[in-house]
Structure formats: structure tokens, C-alpha cells
Amino acid sequence: MRTEKIRVRMLAGLLAAGLVLSLPAGGALALGEGTFTEETVNSDALAQDQNVQDAKEKKEALQKELDALNQQLANIQGDKKEAEETKAALEKQKNLITQQISALISTISDAEEAVAQKEEDIQRTQQAIEEKEAEIDEQWDAFKDQMAAMQMLNDTGYVAMLANVNSLYQLLTFSNTMQEISQQDTEILDNMKAQKEELNEQKAQLDKEKQELEAAKQELESQKSELDAKSGELAQNISATNQEISDAQAKEQAQQQVVDAKQKEYNQAEQEYENAVRAALSNAQGNDTSNDFTSSLFVWPLPGYHEITTYFGETQDINGYIKSGHKGIDVRTAGASPAIHAAAGGTVTVSTYSSSYGNYVLIYHGQDADGNGYATLYAHMSSRAVSEGETVSADQTIGYVGSTGLSTGMHLHFEVRVNGNPANPFNYFS
Ligand SMILES: [Zn+2]
């Protein structure tokens, strides 16, 4: 086909001279050893038409601008998503710390209870010590009284007593008894003192334990205040991230408006280009635009594949790039690259590559009885099988499913356009 096209280009002069008008519609003209079809004539007519070329240039310039704006929008959306992820991570961290703090609060309260218990024990021991001291004092008083009585005997009554002692044995016994009494008292006192000593030791042990508990409690409290500080810091970071997110949202909104305005401009240019193409083709072919298209007779463009991943009007997330108001339907092919069929007969008015649609084809089908113009669009193709100006019939292969342009997997993005505006394809299949 390529060599034929080149030959046809060399015949441009002849064609411009009006030869093309004499071609039978849809027919093929024998020329030398090769043949060329109406499609090549159409392509040539388009290449020569200044209006078509101007409209094409304008459309392509706008497409570039739109691509750049969309890229900026995607960057902003990426920043926003990143900030949202950061925020989620910070919140997770903060929740973890909040849990740790509440565990510490309960441990601290346990420690407080233990300290209070220890204080009670200390108080009880202190009371026992005081009681023991009172007992010792009492015993000491009794002992002193006894000693005083004995002293009195020694000082005054000893001689009188001696007078009553009949024998040395009696005297010795008396003396022993006195000694025994004093010894017993001393033992009792010693015993009490030992008990008091033991209580003092107990109290000292309790004091030490209480001090340890308080130190542990203090350590817990300092851990808690560290965590409180960390939690406060995280709260600050979260609010800073919230600010980032809302800044990105504002930027996104502003950018979306710019994109929408540019998209409108582009759609207009695309429509103008299509009009120019149609005008050039009808000049070249002498076609009249009869209003005989029946829009309800579209055939399914991807026989055997019916898994719709995105319906008309839905919002898409393409690698973090959020696009609302899906202009067509996405038909998934699960990695396969089947042929794409024209949904109806018509003229290929666009067959090109764009950064968003990838390889795509737009076919103009004609007008219905009400004067509404219909076109279908097929995007993200791995390759295109038709060129601009070519006439296609319903069900003809126009390209192959791919994932070119802004796409995340093998699928056909299929649009129906009525008077240039996207419409739900499911309203038009036969
Ligand atoms: Zn799509």
C-alpha cells in the first residue's frame, strides 16, 4: 500500500485538476500496474486542503498544551496523594503512642497503689515501734521501782533483815533471789529492745522499698511525658500535613479549571478539524451529507470481550491521576490484543497518537434524520490499521487493543460522540 500511496502523491497535480471528481464513488481505478482506492484519494485530498491542515495544526498545538496542563494536574494530584499517605502514616504512629500512653497511665496507677500500700505498712510498723517503746518505758519504770526498793533495803532495812536471817544460807539465798529478780528484769528489757530493733529494721526495709517504688513510678512518669511530647509533635505534623493536603486540593481545583477550559478549546478545535475534513472529503468525492445514519445500529467493537472496567461518567484513578466524568466505556481484554471493529461505517477523521489517548482513531458516521452528527472514538490501541480520510465499513478492523497513552492495562476505551459531545455508548448498540 505504501508504494501505491507514494505513487498517488506524485499524481497530486492530476488529482487537483479535478480527475478525482470523475472517480466512481467507492470504486477503484486501475492505473499502470497498481491500483489505488478511494481511501488514498481521500488521504491526498486531506493533505492538500489548507483548511484541514490549519485545523489540524491548531488541534495538535492545543493537544500539546492540554497534555502539559494535564501533566501539571497529575503532579499536583501526586503531591496530594503523597501528603495523604504521610498523614495516614503519622496518624497510625500517633495512635500507637496513644495506646502506649494509656498503658503507661495504668502502670503508673498500679505503682501509685503499691506506694500507698507500702506507706500503710510503714505506718503500721511505726505504730508497733511506738507501742514497743511504751512497753519498754513501762518495764523500765517497774525495774527502776524495784531497784529503788532494793536500794532501800540495802540502805536501811538490810541490818534489820539481817537480824531476821538465821543462817548464812538464808542470807545467800536472799542475795541470790535479789540477783535473779534483777537478772530477769534485764532479760525482759533486752528482749524488748531486740524486738524494737527488729521493728526498726522492718521499717527501714519498708522505707527502702517505698523509695524504690517511687523511683520506678517517677521513671514511668518521665516515659509518659516523653510520649506526651512525641504525641504533641505528631499532632503538629498531622496538622501541617492537613495544611499541605488542603493547599494541594486548592491547587488541584484551580488546575482542573484551567484543564477544563483548555479541554473545551481542544474539543472545539477537534470539531473544527472534523468539519474541515468532512468538507474536504465531500469536495473530493462529490458526496452529499445525506441524513440517513441510524444511530441505534452500532455493533459491539470488541467481539468476545465484555468486561467493562469503567462505565460512562465514572471517576477513574489512573496511577494516582484522578479523572472524573469518564467519556466512554473501558473494555478489558486481560492482556490480549484483539482486533477492534468499527462500530458503524463512516470516514476516519482522526488517526493519530496522543499522550492521553495513545494511538486512537475517530470515525465520523454521518447525521441522523434530526441532523445530529455521530462519531465513535477508539483509544489506547497498540497499533492503528486505518488512516485519516479512509472510508470504513461497519465491523471492519481499524486497529488492535493496547495500553498506549494514559492507561494502566490492555483495554479499549470506546466513545460515542453526538455533535461532538460524549454520550453513553450503551444507548446506541443495536
Ligand atoms: Zn477509558
CA distance 270 to 370: 22
Ligand 1 centroid – CA 328 distance (Å)? 6
The cell 503507661 sits on which residue? 104
CATH of the domain at 203: 1.10.287
Ligand 1 centroid – CA 318 distance (Å)? 10
> First-to-last CA distance in the chain?
34
Residues 160 and 242 in one domain: yes
pLDDT digits (tens, 9 = 90+) for 138-166: 888 887 787 777 666 666 555 555 566 66
CATH of the domain at 318: 2.70.70.10
Domain boundary among 223, 246, 269: 246
Residues 295 and 213 in one domain: no
Residues 105 and 236 in one domain: yes
CA distance 102 to 99: 5
Q: What is the pLDDT of residue 300?
A: 96
Residues 302 and 242 in one domain: no
Q: What is the pLDDT of residue 148?
A: 73
Ligand 1 centroid – CA 273 distance (Å)? 23
Q: What is the pLDDT of residue 275?
A: 83
Ligand 1 centroid – CA 86 distance (Å)? 30
Residues 326 and 420 in one domain: yes
Whether residue 51 lies inside any domain: the answer is no
Whether residue 147 lies inside any domain: the answer is yes
CA distance 84 to 35: 62
Q: What is the pLDDT of residue 13?
A: 39
Q: What is the pLDDT of residue 161?
A: 59
Ligand 1 centroid – CA 406 distance (Å)? 9
Residues 236 and 345 in one domain: no
Ligand 1 centroid – CA 4 distance (Å)? 36
Residue 24 Ramachandran class (φ > 0 left, ψ -120 to 50 alpha, else beta): beta
Measured in whole angstroms, how far is the alpha carbon of residue 401 from the centre of its chain? Answer: 31
Whether residue 66 lies inside any domain: the answer is no
CA distance 138 to 146: 12
Which residues neighbour 99 within 8 Å (Cβ) at sequence distance 6 or greater? none
Ligand 1 centroid – CA 129 distance (Å)? 90
Written as one letter, the residue type at 71 is Q
Whether residue 45 lies inside any domain: the answer is no
Whether residue 165 lies inside any domain: the answer is yes
Ligand 1 centroid – CA 334 distance (Å)? 15
Ligand 1 centroid – CA 357 distance (Å)? 9
Q: DSSP letter at 409? A: S
Ligand 1 centroid – CA 315 distance (Å)? 10
Ligand 1 centroid – CA 141 distance (Å)? 108
Ligand 1 centroid – CA 316 distance (Å)? 8
Ligand 1 centroid – CA 267 distance (Å)? 17
Q: What is the pLDDT of residue 171?
A: 62
Residues 150 and 217 in one domain: yes
Look at residues 399, 408, 349 and name the one whose alpha carbon lies nearest to residue 379. Answer: 399
Look at residues 361, 358, 375 and name the one whose alpha carbon lies nearest to residue 410. Answer: 358
Ligand 1 centroid – CA 361 distance (Å)? 14
Q: What residues does 378 pair with on adjacent strands?
A: 361, 414
Sign of CA dihedral 52, 57, 61, 63: positive
Residues 221 and 322 in one domain: no
CA distance 359 to 406: 11
Whether residue 371 lies inside any domain: the answer is yes
The segments of the chain whose pLDDT lies below 70 read: 1-43, 150-175, 177-178, 284-291, 319-321
Ligand 1 centroid – CA 414 distance (Å)? 7
Domain that holds residue 227: 85-246
Look at residues 284, 370, 300, 292 and name the one whose alpha carbon lies nearest to residue 338. Answer: 300
pLDDT digits (tens, 9 = 90+) for 76-89: 999 999 999 999 99
In order of 26, 29, 40, 109, the CA distances from 17 in angstroms are: 20, 16, 16, 102
Ligand 1 centroid – CA 70 distance (Å)? 15
In 3-state terms, what secondary structure has residue 209? helix
Q: What is the pLDDT of residue 258?
A: 96
Residues 358 and 416 in one domain: yes
Do the strands 373-381 and 383-384 form a parallel or antiparallel pair, or are they unpaired?
Answer: unpaired
Q: What is the pLDDT of residue 21?
A: 36
In order of 269, 288, 294, 299, 394, the CA distances from 371 in angstroms are: 21, 13, 11, 21, 21
Whether residue 264 lies inside any domain: the answer is no
Domain boundary among 246, 274, 304: 246
pTM to 2 decimal places: 0.57
Residues 89 and 229 in one domain: yes
CA distance 159 to 7: 167
Ligand 1 centroid – CA 330 distance (Å)? 5
Ligand 1 centroid – CA 417 distance (Å)? 14
Domain boundary among 217, 246, 275: 246
CA distance 109 to 115: 10
Ligand 1 centroid – CA 58 distance (Å)? 25
Q: What is the pLDDT of residue 16?
A: 39
Residues 305 and 412 in one domain: yes
Q: What is the pLDDT of residue 153?
A: 65
CA distance 261 to 66: 9
pLDDT digits (tens, 9 = 90+) for 298-311: 999 999 999 999 99
Q: What is the tally of structural domains in the chain? A: 2
Look at residues 397, 361, 360 and name the one whose alpha carbon lies nearest to residue 380. Answer: 360
| Cα angle 217, 221, 226; round to 5 | 150
Q: What is the pLDDT of residue 81?
A: 92
Ligand 1 centroid – CA 326 distance (Å)? 6
Q: What is the pLDDT of residue 319?
A: 67
Q: Taking a C-beta distance cutoff of 8 angstroms, is the pair 19, 28 a contact?
A: no
Q: What residues does 245 pair with on adjacent strands?
A: none
Whether residue 267 lies inside any domain: the answer is no
Residues 238 and 92 in one domain: yes
Q: Taking a C-beta distance cutoff of 8 angstroms, is the pair 367, 418 a contact?
A: no
Angle between helices 50-152 and 38-48 (to 10 degrees): 80
The cell 470523475 sits on which residue? 22
